Chains A and B, each alone.
Chain A
Amino acid sequence: AQSVTQLDSHVSVSEGTPVLLRCNYSSSYSPSLFWYVQHPNKGLQLLLKYTSAATLVKGINGFEAEFKKSETSFHLTKPSAHMSDAAEYFCVVSLGGFQKLVFGTGTRLLVSP
């Protein structure tokens, strides 16, 4: 069965330092993978997605993620955190047919001045 595991429930960084949010997936076939962001009291917004093209995927707001099949990972990174990046981030795998998504439990990113 397809699933995702977000390895950290909370990540704290200082403004201007790199961000790393970790995600491992389990899938019986080549998956589609997504990162969504949720700002407080808001809906979810797509950051980026992997769909079996380039393994390094660039998203909005300077975020990127690398698909590593050998490690079954899809970690999200950003070179320099901004205060506005403080939010909850969800790693998501698609089950394919009818586009049903399986969400990770989320990682809350805290950014301090």
Chain B
Amino acid sequence: NAGVTQTPKFRVLKTGQSMTLLCAQDMNHEYMYWYRQDPGMGLRLIHYSVGEGTTAKGEVPDGYNVSRLKKQNFLLGLESAAPSQTSVYFCASSYGTSGAETQYFGPGTRLLVL
């Protein structure tokens, strides 16, 4: 099992460019999440998905879009990148909805927007 994988590992963008971050999990989890991590702020939830074909907004959704066309994949898109989106992005997945389920995290994508 690879667990949760993220592509790419590192990317540099210019302001206004677009890109898509890919998250894949092989644990048959229903729930998937995208977080961003900024210095001194912990992780903040961007968007999440409770199943194939469904998405919902988290704490900081502005400037991002997501899609979950397949159960194992969760895509995060930046349509017009801004320097404020420079961050480390983590994807996570979990099996259930009890509130006590463990979330499994990917290794992260480091994004620099110039």
Contacts and interface: CB of A to CB of B under 8 A. Distances in A.
B25 interface: no
Contacts of B4: 43
Interface stretch (A12-20, A66-74, A75-83, A95-103): A95-103
A51 B40 CA distance: 27
Nearest to B56: A98
A63 interface: no
Interface in A23-81: 32, 34, 36, 41-46, 49, 51
Residue among B31, B40, B44, B103 having the largest count of chain A Cβ atoms under 10 Å: B103
B48 A98 contact: yes
Contacts of A44: 43, 90, 92, 105
Given A43-B4, A103-B43, A105-B42, A97 B106 contact: no
The contact size tier of chain B is 20 to 34
B97 A97 contact: yes
A49 B44 CA distance: 19
A48 to B, nearest CB: 10
A49 to B, nearest CB: 7
Interface string B79-105: 000000000001010101111111111
Given A42-B107, A99-B31, A100-B48, A49 B42 contact: no
Nearest to A31: B99
Contacts of B44: 103
A32 B103 contact: no
Nearest to B107: A43
Given A104-B42, A106-B42, A95 B105 contact: no
Given A34-B102, A98-B97, A101-B103, 15 more contacts: A32-B99, A32-B100, A42-B107, A43-B107, A45-B105, A46-B102, A90-B42, A96-B99, A99-B31, A99-B97, A100-B45, A100-B58, A104-B42, A105-B41, A105-B42
